Amino acid sequence: MRRAAAAFAAAVLACACAGHAPAGAPPSAPRIVSLAPSLTEIAYAIGCGPQLVGDTLYDDYPEAARRLPHVADLTHVDLERLSQLAPTAILALHDQESEGSAISRVMRGAGVQYLPNRNLADLYTDVAGVGHACGRDRQAQAFDAQMRRSIGRIAGQAARARTRPRVLYLLGLPGFTAGRQSYLSDLIALAGGINVAGNVDQPYPNLSAEAIVAMDPDVLIVARDTPFGPDVRAREPWRSMRAVHDGEVFSPPNDDVLERPGPRVVQGLAWLAHALHSRD
């Protein structure tokens, strides 16, 4: 591991560009490795696909991302394989930087660009950061403006809805949810809802059963990969919840359109607004 880390650091610090340019890119084009699925989606959305030479095991959208060399999962990086790709820029998220591992320290020394990923405002920062890294600042600005217009249109329609339901977004059992200053809390507000966990001073807390019962939301959004069948609904705190009694329990068509802070936020927000106001 130490030898691979040293090789990687040397390759990046020297801005190794000797590798072949990816298909569709000129020889002098940046060679980008993305270490987060959301950043990969942004890259493709603004036309940086030809500059991507590697990504993570979890990069599954768009289809082209599946065919790139996978050099990492969400917590570990194959430094030897990464160095072989001779990247000129590596993009990651602040959560990966905060791990404090030996790999993270080596990567910081190699000039990895860490982008924020806590709230909706960070998404716009990420678009600009990815665009700058791959030399497509104007395209990033245009995409940012388009995304803001679409989000504003959905939020405007939601603001005119008759009700503002109280919402709990269940990310996982027993009570993982979205708290204050989280990306999902921002989306709930834009969709015309009130996040019942919005006063919890953690981005993604694990609530107790007692806290969930006390919150008693009008609408429960359950991540698609969270098991929430009849056996779970029959147990506390779910069986006492108003949303369960009233049949106001919804799961998104795809978790990533809401949970992954990327270009598909418009699709996810439109679904969420419809779910929250389906009975208006």
Domain with CATH 3.40.50.1980 in the chain: 2-136, 160-276
Q: Residues near 69 by Cβ (< 8 Å), separated by ≥ 6?
A: 53, 54, 55, 81, 85
Number of Cβ atoms within 10 Å of the Cβ of 64: 14
- Give 161-212 pLDDT, tens digit per residue: 999 999 999 999 999 999 998 999 999 999 999 999 999 999 999 999 999 9
Annotate 141-185 with three-state secondary structure.
HHHHHHHHHHHHHHHHHHHCCCCCCEEEEECECCCECCCCCCHHH
Residue ranges of the alpha helices (H) in the chain? 2-13, 37-45, 63-66, 79-84, 94-97, 102-109, 120-133, 137-159, 183-190, 209-215, 230-233, 242-245, 256-259, 265-276
Tell me: pLDDT of 102 over 50.
no
pLDDT for residue 25: 52
Tell me: pLDDT of 279 over 90.
no
Q: Given the structure tokens 């050099």, which residue do they identify?
A: 71
Q: For strands 219-222 and 249-250, give the pairing.
A: parallel
- The fraction of the chain above a pLDDT of 70, given in percent, is 84
pLDDT for residue 66: 97
Q: Which CATH class is domain 2-136?
A: alpha beta
pLDDT: is 155 or 4 the higher one? 155
Instruction: Give the CA angle between residues 111, 83, 17 to the nearest 5°.
Output: 75
240-267 mean pLDDT: 96
Q: Which CATH class is domain 160-276?
A: alpha beta
> Are the CB atoms for 49 and 136 separated by under 8 Å?
no
pLDDT: is 119 or 7 the higher one? 119
pLDDT for residue 120: 95
Distance CA 245, CA 56 (A): 41
Tell me: pLDDT of 95 over 90.
no
Instruction: Give the CA angle between residues 184, 40, 263 to the nearest 5°.
Output: 45
Please give the helix or strand (H or E) that residue 250 lies within, else none.
strand 249-250
- Give 16-66 pLDDT, tens digit per residue: 333 444 555 555 789 999 999 999 999 999 999 999 999 999 999 999 999
